[in-house]
Amino acid sequence: MSEVTMTVNGRKVSGSCEDRTLLAHFLRENLGLTGTHVGCDTSQCGACVVHVDGKAVKSCTMLAVQANGTDVMTIEGLAGDDLHPVQAAFREHHGLQCGFCTPGMIMAATDMINRHGPGNLDEKTVRGELEGNICRCTGYHNIVKAILAASEAMAKGAGAKAA
């Protein structure tokens, strides 16, 4: 067993876990943050994407002990007083159905917009960037629309605080 300490959604947390415990399981089981989902065993589906030190990471590819000392943000920590623009766009454009892939999609999309800079995405780029996130419900049509809309909204200054 190992002791790990990290900042999760702005709060310092500690816990003990087996060395083999994945960050995804630590978040879900030790911290009760069940918004991070596990949809596969091979780091393909992206339902578990969180931000570690500001970068999108599949939390099933990282051991909890590797996250020791890092700053983690999960889907539960994304919204401020208002929804993050990416969350708002997913709702506005029906970018989700069953909701299971949604937290990972939103965390990956937020990172995507931040990396490219708000307003700098096009459909081809978004589709290519979503290679690591699988959705079985939406056919991606409305997810792509939502991400492009969020990118434009953020370019116009929406959610500057939350982002």
Binding site for another protein (CB under 8 A): 18, 20-21, 28, 32-42, 44-45, 47, 74-76, 78-79, 83, 87, 90-92, 94, 96-103, 106, 123-124, 126-128, 130-131, 133-145
Q: Which is nearer to another protein, 46 or 118 (CB)?
A: 46
What is the smallest separation between the CB atom of 150 and another protein, expressed in angstroms? 12
Query: Smallest gap, in angstroms, from Cβ of residue 102 to another protein?
Result: 5
DSSP 12-32: EEEEEE-TT-BHHHIIIIIS-
Of 27 and 69, CB closest to another protein? 27
Nearer to another protein, 14 or 34 (CB): 34
Q: Which is nearer to another protein, 55 or 91 (CB)?
A: 91
Q: CA of 154: how far to CAs of 9, 28, 83, 106, 110, in Å?
A: 21, 30, 13, 14, 10
Q: Which residues are registered as beta bridge partners of 42?
A: none
CB of 75 to another protein, least distance (A): 4
CB 86 within 8 A of CB 147: yes
Smallest distance, Å, CB 55 to another protein? 19
- 3-class secondary-structure state, position 56: strand
Q: Residue 2: exposed, middle, or buried by beta-carbon count in 10 A (0-12, 13-18, 19+)?
A: middle
